[in-house]
Structure 1
């Protein structure tokens, strides 16, 4: 009796094959394209995808460009435009709630810096070049009144902090993902040898919000919880997740 042909899955291929061989394989190539499209839809940059899977950036660009040419990726192009904020049509606008959260974050960061100095708002107001009412300063700290770039820069100068540091920290909190966040392919994870983790991934795939991309974003708190559920140490869990 002839032996059945075993077709390796994408997870095995990524770990054991060169990218160009996966790219041109008639079975694995389309799976690779799907994975890259999902990563793009999850707002991952080419550099992030390369760091995550070890793929060459040139190869990632080539596969995504070919996907665009084949017409599959109107969704990929739209996702890249949303990520870059360059799409004039069809770009996803930032919600008013998110902008309010960002303004409140900037104000709260300034308030914390003021309190580090032990200053009241009256003291802070007296150190500003342009006299403003204490009420206006309070509304800026609460994020209920928009402040100009020049006002923000002046606040930072008086407080002795770099505007970029404040801005980047708040922007990361509101729009970005922490550096220890892990993005995993649930379909690959569902086939792993760790039974509890495979079951969790299978259940997540059945959820409506996971059906579109097949990717799951795991912040550090979720990683810790999964490690406890699976009965493994966090480093061991991360090794398993790195293959997904």
Structure 2
């Protein structure tokens, strides 16, 4: 089981709320004025900085004021927090992928070579990234996933 880094999640949630507010070019004071319940500008700042927990009800209220769906915000936050997590993703050993020789996997090889020595040895692709890479390789996502699993086992 993957352990959730609470501080990282809180920080990502705050960053997402701040980005949404800034996209609308609102000050914290302007967002607070749009809420149905009263909170201080300092409280909003502490949510955005990830130093204070936001209740579910307050989170939904903030999302409504920002004109976004809460589950969309949580999806983006989850993508940030779990970007290096295997949960629901396909593992790619970048170094091994750089050595793939089958012609149809040339896009996979080029991507892995471009990553070179930067970043983690293993990265995790979500379903949409796997589908995009499979399309570039001209294979079905399940076929690419099976090939990546063989790479993971050293085959």
In structure 2, distance between residues paired with 1:132 and 1:152: 12
Q: Which has the higher contact order (CA 8 A, sep 6+)?
A: 2
Which residue matches 1:117?
A: 24
Residue of structure 1 aligned with 2:111, choices 224, 233, 237: 224
The answer on whether the counterparts of 1:104 and 1:144 sit within 8 Å (CA) in structure 2 is: yes
Q: 1:124 to 1:224 in 2, by over 3 A?
A: same
In structure 2, distance between residues paired with 1:242 and 1:93: 26
Max radius of gyration: which structure?
1
Q: How does 1:1-244 map to 2 (within 5 A)?
A: 82=1, 93-94=3-4, 98-175=5-82, 182-183=90-91, 197=99, 224-226=111-113, 235=137, 242-243=146-147, 244=150
In structure 2, distance between residues paired with 1:185 and 1:111: 34
Deviations 1:88-143 (A, max 9, x none): xxxx643xxx2111111111111111111111001111111111111110000111
In structure 1, distance between residues paired with 2:108 and 2:51: 31
Runs of 4 or more above 4 Å deviation:
220-223, 238-242
Aligned alpha-carbon RMSD (Å): 3.8
Alignment coverage as a number of residue pairs: 116
Q: 1:184 to 1:164 in 2, by over 3 A?
A: closer
Q: 1:100 to 1:137 in 2, by over 3 A?
A: same
In structure 2, distance between residues paired with 1:158 and 1:143: 19
Question: Any unmatched runs of 5+ in structure 1?
Answer: 1-81, 83-91, 191-195, 199-219
The structural deviation recorded for 1:175 is: 2.2
Deviations 1:39-91 (A, max 9, x none): xxxxxxxxxxxxxxxxxxxxxxxxxxxxxxxxxxxxxxxxxxx2xxxxxxxxx
**Aligned to 2:36, what secondary structure does the other structure show?**
coil
The structural deviation recorded for 1:184 is: 5.3
The answer on whether the counterparts of 2:11 and 2:49 sit within 8 Å (CA) in structure 1 is: yes
> TM-score, length-normalised on structure 2?
0.59
The answer on whether the counterparts of 1:184 and 1:241 sit within 8 Å (CA) in structure 2 is: no
The answer on whether the counterparts of 2:99 and 2:109 sit within 8 Å (CA) in structure 1 is: no
Deviations 1:159-193 (A, max 9, x none): 00000000011112212559xx653589xx69xxx
In structure 2, distance between residues paired with 1:170 and 1:119: 21
Question: Any unmatched runs of 5+ in structure 2?
Answer: 101-106, 117-135, 151-155
